[in-house]
């Protein structure tokens, strides 16, 4: 399903894949799984992360379970294009933190033959669509929604419930600030 496509006349065709879901749903681990497959096939990879995400490491992308992969930090979406040296795969972690230009950047990369793999939160802590993610899902050839497990009842979770009082939309954190909840448990906490 996620194999690169080829045309005899035009060479490699690019594509856009989105991996989305709540916090602790395994988005970054799924991104790494796809990168490992590409690496095994000797495909070149550029992995980028937003500069503001320094939760586990300043340079590497690190999953909540401790897996890591060397990455390039970017302040904005246009820097991704500046860093791209024609790699087969352009992977973007925490895409919700990038500006709206990421939509045109991903489209441009795919149009130039890159396989673009994006991981990010589809909703913020209020349950609202987060940043450019809805538009990225709309233009993607493939969208995978992954789910966490609700820490209150054990059902599938797709909400990132904030456990601290800060109200700004962007608050980078992990288990010390968020927990995954199902719809029912999320609604109960927000009554």
Beta pairing partners, 11: 7
Distance from C-alpha of 140 to C-alpha of 58, rounded to nearest angstrom:
29
Give the active site residue among 17, 30, 94, 168: 94
Which pairing describes strands 5-7 and 89-92: parallel, antiparallel, or unpaired? unpaired
DSSP for 93-159 reads SSGGGS-THHHHHHHHHHHTT-EEEEEEESB-TTSSB-TTHHHHHHH-SEEEEE-EE-TTTSSEE-E
The answer to whether 94 is a known catalytic residue is yes
* Active site residue ranges: 94
């Amino acid at each position: 399903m996620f194999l690169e496509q080829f045309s005899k006349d035009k060479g490699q065709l690019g594509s856009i894949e989105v991996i989305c879901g709540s916090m602790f749903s395994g988005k970054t681990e799924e991104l790494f799984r796809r990168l490992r497959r590409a690496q095994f096939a000797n495909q070149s990879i550029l992995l980028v992360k937003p500069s503001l995400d320094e939760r586990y490491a300043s340079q590497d992308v690190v999953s909540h379970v401790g897996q890591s992969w060397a990455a390039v930090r970017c302040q904005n979406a246009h820097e991704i294009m500046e860093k791209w040296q024609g790699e087969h795969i352009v992977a973007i972690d925490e895409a919700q933190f990038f500006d709206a230009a990421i939509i045109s950047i991903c489209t441009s990369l795919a149009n130039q033959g890159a396989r673009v793999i994006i991981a990010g939160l589809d909703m913020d802590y209020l349950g609202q669509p987060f940043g450019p993610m809805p538009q990225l899902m709309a233009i993607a050839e493939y969208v995978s929604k992954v789910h966490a497990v609700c820490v209150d009842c054990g059902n599938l979770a797709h909400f990132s419930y904030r456990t601290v009082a800060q109200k700004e939309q962007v608050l980078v954190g992990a288990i010390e600030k968020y927990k995954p909840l199902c719809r029912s448990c999320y609604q109960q906490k927000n009554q």
